[in-house]
């Protein structure tokens, strides 16, 4: 059976942790993994802007010894001629062994997966989900805190449209002792669908009030492209700015995460604070995506001789 990663729960908690463990093994000994995906090909189908996510998937595949094809925006693909998702996928699966897809429409990669006999990785669908970002966020949290349970996390900024927030919060509900602070203006609150039963959470609009309680602060960009008009966006631009003064209110052990790109929500002075973890996340992203590609292609970990995902 073809396995996809369309939303975080497509992987069991145990599988997720095996992918993070494999990412650590890759980090420790990259040479061992440099040919594992030789003669395999990744197609990156990006219908929406990206820097990190596309280049990170492509670099991950190359570091496994595999090849990469694809397009970086819809206007250079046949979508601009009106080709349907179904036809695009039918064509691409002849060329490639795995697809990473980003799309402005929520649910598009899920639709593509219905027609695909090769694994599809959702690299972000509209304001919905971003499960590979979640894997790298979890990897960074684990490295910083040494655990994935019993901590307090504050999500700050655009919680309504921020797909990285939706996927990470969802994933963390599988762990015990997680307390959530959802810090946003009233209009950009966490969608009700993302707040599940039993979630221990507080909603507030004040970063100053919440920051002292946090082990992880997850800052986000106001998602300009999802607003109905530029005026709507301008109402919220600059609403939260993390600077040196606010960092003084935080625990000395707190870690600041951000999926990037940042606009103005973290001032550059915070970059030199040892609590800033957002550039570390980039490194995690590469190793985690290498591990994910191996897992979905059904490759064995050369270190253990075993497959990464459970037999379905
Ligand atoms: C995020 C995304 O695309 O959702 N970026 C990323 O993949 N690292 C966050 C964002 O664009 O704000």
Stretch 168-172: mean pLDDT: 98
Q: What pLDDT, on a 0 to 100 scale, did the predictor assign at position 267?
A: 98
Residue 222 has pLDDT above 80, yes or no: yes
Q: What pLDDT, on a 0 to 100 scale, did the predictor assign at position 78?
A: 74
Stretch 135-148: mean pLDDT: 98
Stretch 113-130: mean pLDDT: 97
Nearest CA-CA partner of 54 in 225, 289, 297, 281: 289
Nearest CA-CA partner of 146 in 251, 255, 252: 255
Tens digit of each residue's pLDDT (9 = 90 or more) over 66-99: 999 999 988 877 776 778 888 999 999 999 999 9
Mutate to test the pocket of ligand 1, among 49, 52, 73, 124 (most ligand atoms within 8 A of CB): 124
> pLDDT category, 170, cuts 50, 70, 90?
very high
Which residue, judged by its Cα, is nearest atom 12 of ligand 1?
221
Range from 43-52, 196-205, 235-244 carrying the lowest mean pLDDT: 43-52
Q: How far is 129 from 107, CA to CA, in rounded Å?
A: 9
* Alpha helical stretches, state H, 156-225: 163-172, 207-211
Stretch 293-307: mean pLDDT: 97
Ligand 1 atom closest to Cα of 123?
A: 7
Q: What pLDDT, on a 0 to 100 scale, did the predictor assign at position 224?
A: 95
Stretch 140-166: mean pLDDT: 98
Ligand 1 midpoint to CA 8 (Å): 16
Q: What pLDDT, on a 0 to 100 scale, did the predictor assign at position 77?
A: 72
Ligand 1 atom closest to Cα of 220?
A: 12
Q: How far is 288 from 37, CA to CA, in rounded Å?
A: 15
Stretch 148-171: mean pLDDT: 98
Which domains are present in the chain? 8-129+285-297 (3.40.50.1370), 131-281 (3.40.50.1370)
Residues with catalytic function: 52-53, 81, 102, 130
Q: What pLDDT, on a 0 to 100 scale, did the predictor assign at position 26?
A: 98
Ligand 1 atom closest to Cα of 102?
A: 3
Residue 312 has pLDDT above 70, yes or no: no
Q: What pLDDT, on a 0 to 100 scale, did the predictor assign at position 300?
A: 97
* Alpha helical stretches, state H, 64-130: 85-95, 108-115
Ligand 1 midpoint to CA 200 (Å): 26
Ligand 1 midpoint to CA 259 (Å): 6
Which residue, judged by its Cα, is nearest atom 8 of ligand 1?
259
Residues with CB under 6 A from ligand 1: 52-53, 124, 130, 133, 163-164, 221, 259-260
The model's pTM is 0.96
Ligand 1 midpoint to CA 73 (Å): 15
Are the C-beta atoms of residues 281 and 137 closer than 8 Å to each other? yes
Tens digit of each residue's pLDDT (9 = 90 or more) over 226-272: 999 999 999 999 999 999 999 999 999 999 999 999 999 999 999 99
């Amino acid at each position: 059976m073809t396995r996809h990663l369309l939303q975080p729960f497509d992987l069991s908690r145990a599988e997720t942790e095996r992918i993070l463990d494999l990412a650590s093994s890759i980090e420790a000994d990259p040479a061992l993994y440099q040919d594992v995906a030789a003669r395999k090909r990744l197609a990156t189908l990006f219908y929406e802007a990206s820097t990190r996510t596309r280049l990170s998937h492509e670099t991950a595949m190359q570091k496994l010894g595999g090849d990469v094809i694809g397009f970086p925006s819809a206007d250079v693909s046949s979508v601009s001629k009106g080709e349907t998702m179904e036809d695009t996928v039918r064509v691409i699966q002849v060329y490639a062994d795995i697809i990473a897809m980003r799309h402005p429409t929520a649910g598009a990669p899920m639709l593509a997966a219905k027609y695909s006999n090769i694994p599809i990785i959702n690299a972000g669908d509209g304001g919905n989900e971003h499960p590979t970002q979640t894997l790298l966020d979890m990897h960074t949290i684990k490295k910083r805190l040494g655990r994935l349970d019993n901590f307090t996390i504050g999500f700050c900024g655009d919680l309504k449209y921020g797909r990285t927030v939706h996927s990470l919060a969802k994933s963390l509900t599988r762990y015990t002792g997680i307390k959530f602070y959802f810090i946003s203006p009233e209009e950009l609150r966490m969608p009700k669908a993302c707040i599940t039963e039993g979630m221990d959470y507080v909603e507030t609009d004040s970063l100053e009030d919440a920051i002292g309680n946090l082990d992880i602060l997850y800052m986000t960009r106001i998602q300009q492209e999802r607003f109905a008009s530029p005026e709507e966006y301008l109402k919220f631009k600059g609403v939260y700015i993390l600077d040196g003064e606010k960092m003084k209110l935080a625990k000395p052990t707190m870690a600041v995460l951000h999926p990037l790109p940042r606009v103005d929500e973290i001032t550059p002075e915070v970059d030199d604070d040892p609590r800033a973890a957002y550039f570390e996340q980039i490194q995690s992203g590469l190793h985690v995506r290498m591990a994910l590609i191996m897992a979905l292609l059904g490759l064995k970990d050369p270190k253990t001789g075993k497959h990464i995902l459970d037999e379905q």
